[in-house]
Amino acid sequence: MRRQDRQGILPARETGRAFPAASAEDSSVERFHEQTRQAMVKARWAVFGLAGAVALAGTGVIAAAIGPFGSETIAQPILFPHDLHAGTNQIPCEYCHYSVDRSVDAGIPAVQVCAGCHIAGGQALFRRDSTGIKQLVAYWNEQKPIPWVRIHSLPDHAHFPHMRHIKADVQCEECHGDLKTAREVTVQQKLWMGWCIQCHRDKQVRTDCSVCHY
């Protein structure tokens, strides 16, 4: 095809012809299309942002700790008075949370741990009229685990190895509050990433991503 035969499909700078000047109506249409395009872009990013926020909240990035915060409490299958056990009777945390110094998790007390202090021969040793003791005896005699409700939980992409913190002489109260005076456990720290990083900085330990995300 010769050049003159292709002039109809070449741009104006190639053919030597200028494009006709845009009319006022054409400019108005172009502005409308541009405004519509910008609005669609903004709407798309707003949807992405909302979806991202929902996803982060679901995985725990925004709310890393589940359970009650402050004065609110979660109902447990047995009312366990921490102030009586850890405070009045001065039972160390490690007695019930037996794996805290050698495992990632602190360990939720099994019914056998409770029975070791409270039950002998299938009968309660003391406070037999207590509702909690009666519940404990029932779980023991039926050989069923106590369905404790977990209060503190982190998303799967964040790791908090209890044994490392215990070996670093981090006290339980720093994260869980003073349970020696608490009747029931509540979330005292929301365990947000910023709070953890600040704690690491205060103690002059590593804060790179691989410390908690691996």
Lowest pLDDT segment from 11-15, 40-44, 67-71: 11-15
Backbone dihedral angles phi then psi of residue 178, each to the nearest 5 degrees: -85, 95
- Orientation of helix 131-141 relative to helix 111-118, angle to 10°: 120
pLDDT above 90 as % of the chain = 55
Q: Which of 45-49, 107-111, 156-160, 196-200 has the lowest mean pLDDT?
A: 45-49
Specify whether 53 is located in the same domain as 153: no
Query: Tokens at residue 31, please?
Result: 């502005």
Helices (H), ranges, the chain: 12-15, 24-59, 82, 93-96, 111-118, 131-141, 162-167, 173-176, 193-202
- Residue 105 in domain: yes
Same domain, 86 and 153: yes
Percent of the chain scored above 70 by pLDDT? 66
Asked if 170 and 100 sit in the same domain, the reply is yes
Domain membership flag for residue 183: yes
| Mean pLDDT, rounded, for 44-49 | 53
Q: Per the domain annotation, does 196 fall within a domain?
A: yes
Which amino acid does the sequence have at 208? Answer: D
Domain count, the chain: 2
Do 55 and 153 belong to one domain?
no
Range of the domain at 41: 22-59
Give a yes or no: residue 34 inside a domain. yes
According to DSSP H, which parts of 64-192 are helical? Answer: 82, 93-96, 111-118, 131-141, 162-167, 173-176
Say if residue 162 is in the same domain as residue 197.
yes
Question: How many angstroms separate the CA atoms of 186 and 184, rounded?
Answer: 7
Give residue 135's identity as a one-letter amino acid code: Q
Q: What are phi and psi of 8, to 5 degrees?
A: -70, -20
In a domain, 117, yes or no: no
Confidence of residue 121 (pLDDT cuts 50, 70, 90): confident
